[in-house]
Structure 1
Amino acid sequence: MRKVTFGKPIIGDEERNAVQKVLEGTLLVHGPIAKQFEADFASYTGSEACVSVSSCTAGLHLCYFDMGLGAGDEVIVPAQTHVATAHAVELCGAKPVFVDAEIKSGNIDISKIEERITPRTKAISVVHFLGLPVAMDKVCAIAEKHGLKVIEDCALAIGGRYKGKHVGLWGDAGAYSFYPVKHITTAEGGVVITKHEDLAARLVHKKAFGVDRNVTERKEPGIYDVTDLGFNYRMNEMQAAIGIEQMKRIDGFLEKRKANYDTLYAGLENIDGVTLFEKPGADFENSHYCLSIILDEKMRADRSKLVKAINDKGVGTSVYYPSPVPYFTYYKEKYPVTGDEYPVASAISYGSIALPVGPHLGAEDMEYVAEMVKKSVGEVF
């Protein structure tokens, strides 16, 4: 039986040697390696500035914190996303106001955004679901009309572009994740990219306690001032060293993901009871994080049986995500919902199965996955 894991970080001698080189020195934080990684990522995305952070969540939180977001404020947030997207708003004391998804892509339903905007709304949060870009010109037009900021959650979207522009550069800022199964990894960590250099400068300051000068900038050791409230949201030099080597492989990683995605997509078309997200038009450049199948409503109650059947054949799966965020206990208790207010997000959360397309796999793996999914559907239904 073939073993097809859902995700696997691809770490080689280059990454190990880069980390070892850092460990042979004494500067493990605030060093040149993080700055080099930031420069490499900025160059790849075409951004004016890039700020390394400890995680994508930290990056999102920093952006809202810098906005002065607080009690009484609201942010439009997709219902179909990782809970971190909403947590970043909640941690500032503001309220996430959820909007349902569209079924063809899993992305926020742009047609429903304006009806959720109130005088308290300060920003629109956009998530490029599974790496497929949102139609950002439409979102930005709404934001400009209402005087709102736009923060892009690009956790699964490295390499995603809309109308030729990399995601994260349409709005005011975009945050990325380098968790082990993402497109590249730094073990943990993230970055924020932005077209606003003044915003980047403030984030650099606030990610390190609001201290006015870091260790390498102090004329007298241990002497500094604190001019702002801030956090410890820094990326260390070991993580950045891994990131530099990973960025050298990003084009190859993305090419392999696309090839795997296309092979698997072709193998999964025309299965009774199973729907795939629509392939986007030329304006949308997908980062191909994974491929999710969506089960018809009559099949959703038995999703766990289908997952088990697929897993028993050696194919790893996941779910993105197990519930619309407003239905998680924390949010449901704080912001009660009545009935099924997010039917499309529910259909995706409760009826989808995510399948692997990572660069650790090849065409034969994709053919095997498609065959096992078809076989499992036949067995269960």
Structure 2
Amino acid sequence: MDTKPIRDNYLPYGSQWIEEDDIQAVVDVLKSNYLTTGPTVKKFEEEFAEYVGAQYAVSFSNGTAALHGACFAAGIGQGDEVITTPMTFAASANCVLYQGGEPVFADIDDKTYNIDPKKVEELINEKTKAIIPVHFTGQPVALDEIHALAKEHNLVVIEDAAHALGATYKENKIGSISDMTMFSLHPVKHITSGEGGIITTNDKNYYEKLVQFRSHGITRDNDKLIENHGPWYYEMQFLGFNYRLTDIQAVLGSSQLQKIDRFVELRRKYIDMYNIAFNEISQITVPYQAEGCNSSWHLYIIRLNLEQLTGTRKEIFKGLQLQNIGVNVHYIPVHQLPYYQQIGYKRGICPNAEKLYEEIITLPLFPKMTEDDVNDVIAAVKKVINQYRK
């Protein structure tokens, strides 16, 4: 057996791409009068809103904080239920708990791996306040069906688009469509501000609530003040949080935003290379892209056809690691996490998501990769799969 790794150095599953102009932009802000929330934050928000086609964008310290803000703006509170997918990072559900609401998990579509609108419909009741669909891996959710349900039952739609900057749904950019949409600016996402999140919306009322929420519930807006003691005066009108982005982060995000189309184009190029190679391997199912959806491909996930393999997912995962390929698994279904089990969620409520989790591996995908890197991943996958082929 060939024990020499395909690569001499380790290839991570995801990574930021910081270039010299990004560094210079940050240095310029460090030399300016503003380091915390200042004019660069406002500029970044305006640029971001323009890119996705929304009227407003509000930045936050991270994507989780942004989701928390969206749940607050939507009025989610004690006794409210919010339907979301289990096939996501915990933040998509935690944000509901922060507001005293209850996350309700709808199972996924077995082809797209996104939340299944039919399962959502089955779970709607008089307590349902909102739906948080997640564009898993960057593949847009069936938003027409989600919006039809929301309209019928008077629900708020908060898209979790942490994976989907640059994606389109029926020629509309994700971020311009629903009541509110969250984007993440974590280093493994499409662009980064180090840490950060954004909510986009076309609703002025949501916009104003979000801006105030991220800054302790404080306002200096003369039209909103209950009293006015003078030009120094401000009021804390509700319990908000310190969730603000800094100018240092915002300028990095702004610089990166100028590169988003190039970054997404590279991701799609590498996806094509993966799909061509893996379509030939019956032991692997490649991702499906629904009609009318153009994914921005945050993640590339292969599904193992384990009945055609002698090895387990864990053995194949470890085999790829031995080839210096930085694989991962996205995600452990949220309702299976220990905390959610402790508060009463049961296994078996989302069988499609639970089965998917047992069969998937995330392969490296990020724009700073080269074609040689992609070919190394392909070679490593073929090598390991061949070791366990029945």
Structure 1 residue runs without a partner (length 5+): none
1:38 CA displacement: 0.6
Correspondence 1:249 to 2:259: yes
The DSSP-based 3-state class of the residue aligned with 2:24 is helix
Whole-angstrom distance in 1 between the partners of 2:58 and 2:349: 37
Whole-angstrom distance in 2 between the partners of 1:301 and 1:72: 46
The DSSP-based 3-state class of the residue aligned with 2:133 is strand
Structure 1 pair 279–267 and aligned structure 2 pair: CA distance change class (3 A): same
Whole-angstrom distance in 2 between the partners of 1:36 and 1:349: 40
Amino acid at match of 1:19: V
Correspondence 1:351 to 2:355: no
1:347 CA displacement: 2.1
* Residue in 1 that maps onto 2:206: 199
Whole-angstrom distance in 1 between the partners of 2:250 and 2:370: 28
10-19 vs 155-164, greater mean Cα deviation: 10-19
Whole-angstrom distance in 2 between the partners of 1:179 and 1:219: 41
Correspondence 1:40 to 2:47: yes
Query: Contact 2:311–2:388 at 8 Å: present in 1 too?
Result: no
The DSSP-based 3-state class of the residue aligned with 2:212 is helix
Q: Which of residues 321, 330, 338 in structure 2 aligns to 1:329? A: 338
Correspondence 1:179 to 2:165: no
Whole-angstrom distance in 2 between the partners of 1:178 and 1:326: 25
Amino acid at match of 1:333: Q
The DSSP-based 3-state class of the residue aligned with 1:113 is helix
Query: Contact 1:300–1:350 at 8 Å: present in 2 too?
Result: no
Correspondence 1:135 to 2:135: no
Correspondence 1:368 to 2:376: yes
Structure 1 pair 237–352 and aligned structure 2 pair: CA distance change class (3 A): same
Query: Contact 1:66–1:203 at 8 Å: present in 2 too?
Result: yes
Q: Which of residues 227, 232, 241 in structure 2 aligns to 1:231? A: 241
* Residue in 1 that maps onto 2:172: 165
- Normalised by the length of structure 1, the TM-score is 0.94
* Residue in 2 that maps onto 1:315: 325
Q: How much is the aligned-residue C-alpha RMSD, in angstroms?
A: 1.9
Q: Give aligned-pair identity as a percent.
A: 36
Structure 2 residue runs without a partner (length 5+): 1-5, 222-227
Matched pairs, number: 375
The DSSP-based 3-state class of the residue aligned with 2:141 is coil
Query: Contact 1:267–1:370 at 8 Å: present in 2 too?
Result: yes
Q: Deviations over 1:91-137 (max 9, x none)?
A: 11110010111121110011111110111000011000000001101
Query: Contact 2:74–2:206 at 8 Å: present in 1 too?
Result: no
1:288 CA displacement: 1.1
Amino acid at match of 1:370: I
Q: Deviations over 1:277-317 (max 9, x none)?
A: 22332x10110112101112545972121111112112111
Whole-angstrom distance in 2 between the partners of 1:290 and 1:300: 26
Structure 1 pair 301–83 and aligned structure 2 pair: CA distance change class (3 A): farther
Query: Contact 2:58–2:207 at 8 Å: present in 1 too?
Result: yes
1:329 CA displacement: 1.1
Q: Which of residues 19, 32, 43 in structure 2 aligns to 1:25? A: 32
Whole-angstrom distance in 2 between the partners of 1:140 and 1:379: 46
* Residue in 2 that maps onto 1:267: 277
